[in-house]
Amino acid sequence: MLSGYRTALFAGAALAVATSWGAMAQTTPITVVVPNPSAINNFPLFVAIGEGYFADEGLEITVEAVNGSASVLQTMAAGQAQIGNPGPGPLLNARARGEDVVFIYNQFPKSIFGLVVNEKADVDDIADLKGTVVGVGTADGAEVAFARGILAGAGLEEGTDYEFLPIGDGGTAAAAFLRDEVTAYSAAVSDAAIIRSRGIGLDEITPEEYLSYFGNGWATTRDFLESNPEVIEGFGRALVRGTRFGLDEANTEKVLEHTTAGNPQEGEDREFAASLLTAIRDRVTPLDVSNGYGYQPPEAWEQWHQSQLDTGGLSAPLDDLEAAYTNEFVKTWNEGQ
């Protein structure tokens, strides 16, 4: 069984989208698994659901939330979901274990993570984290690979110079700071926003070069990709439409309406939700929009691959890094939009 909860579009109901292709058209049911319950973090998905873009493609979407990228990949490997939203580091690790999963859509061209410290801590740069405990959401999530690379770049070795401590996301992470269990935290944009909303001041000490590491995106198994290319085309096309709509500030209230339908608790504080949406929009905006939404720069994958090797995330280079991702559908997704 999937852990986490089923995101509801209407109170207590499973998230399902009816087709708009006409009475005779059949829908294709797709289960999509995400690594945390934030709907704002995945606003293109929830906009595409709420605006009927998936329905236009004949897709019936059910969203499941689990705990971290590793769980996303495990859920897909078990056949309990067709499409997932993992980070690139965990996906490379999964491929090293022989799981033929493929990144198909780059949702966060800019890093969704940052290494933050309590503003009261005596920490000015990464080297000052020697001898400390660094919080992470989960033991094997994408944020671990991200933080490990930064710390290794400063000459710090895990287990010798610092330790990781899984402290969960958002509110539970804030509690860990309040109890002085951690000095730093490898935080997603949404987690940092939640912690700050609890009155805890945070300073980001992420070196600038690491902010270019792209974040979570959409992935599937090669079997599903090759057997259902029309589903991948429709899924990505709906996401692009959802992204374009969601990035338009004129649509802010409508976007928040859709994300609140996906996670009612997240939308209770409208001011906080709007602030978080602004931060997520920045990370979703491509560095070079000319390549189209969803495009994955090969050099960025090389960067992630090398970081995983340097930090021990991978014990050996992958035989075929290019098999880990595809830009095959990007042109189709972006045509005429």
Model pTM above 0.85: no
User: What confidence tier does 14 reach under pLDDT thresholds 50, 70, 90?
Assistant: very low
Domains of the chain are 5-110+215-334 (3.40.190.10), 113-212 (3.40.190.10)
- Which residue is it, tokens 């995983």? 308
* Backbone angles phi and psi of 214, in degrees to 5: -70, 160
User: What confidence tier does 112 reach under pLDDT thresholds 50, 70, 90?
Assistant: confident
pLDDT at 177: 92
Residue 212 has pLDDT above 80, yes or no: no
Instruction: Determine contact, residues 148/158, Cβ cutoff 8 Å.
Output: yes
Average pLDDT rounded to a whole number, residues 182-191: 89
What's the rounded Cα separation, in Å, for the pair 164 and 157?
11
pLDDT at 25: 58
Assigned token pair, 249: 């500030």
What's the rounded Cα separation, in Å, for the pair 185 and 166?
10
The mean predicted confidence, pLDDT, of the chain is 90
What's the rounded Cα separation, in Å, for the pair 312 and 144?
12
Instruction: Determine contact, residues 69/141, Cβ cutoff 8 Å.
Output: yes
Instruction: Determine contact, residues 210/311, Cβ cutoff 8 Å.
Output: no
Average pLDDT rounded to a whole number, residues 109-114: 88
Picking from 20, 61, 29, 59, the residue whose alpha carbon sits closest to that of residue 262 is: 61
pLDDT at 13: 34
- 3-state SS of 27-95 is CEEEEEEECCCCCHHHHHHHHHHHCCHHHHCCEEEEEEECCCHHHHHHHHHCCCCCEECCCHHHHHHHH
For residue range 267-280, what is the model confidence (pLDDT) as tens digits?
Answer: 999 999 998 999 89
Residue 312 has pLDDT above 90, yes or no: no
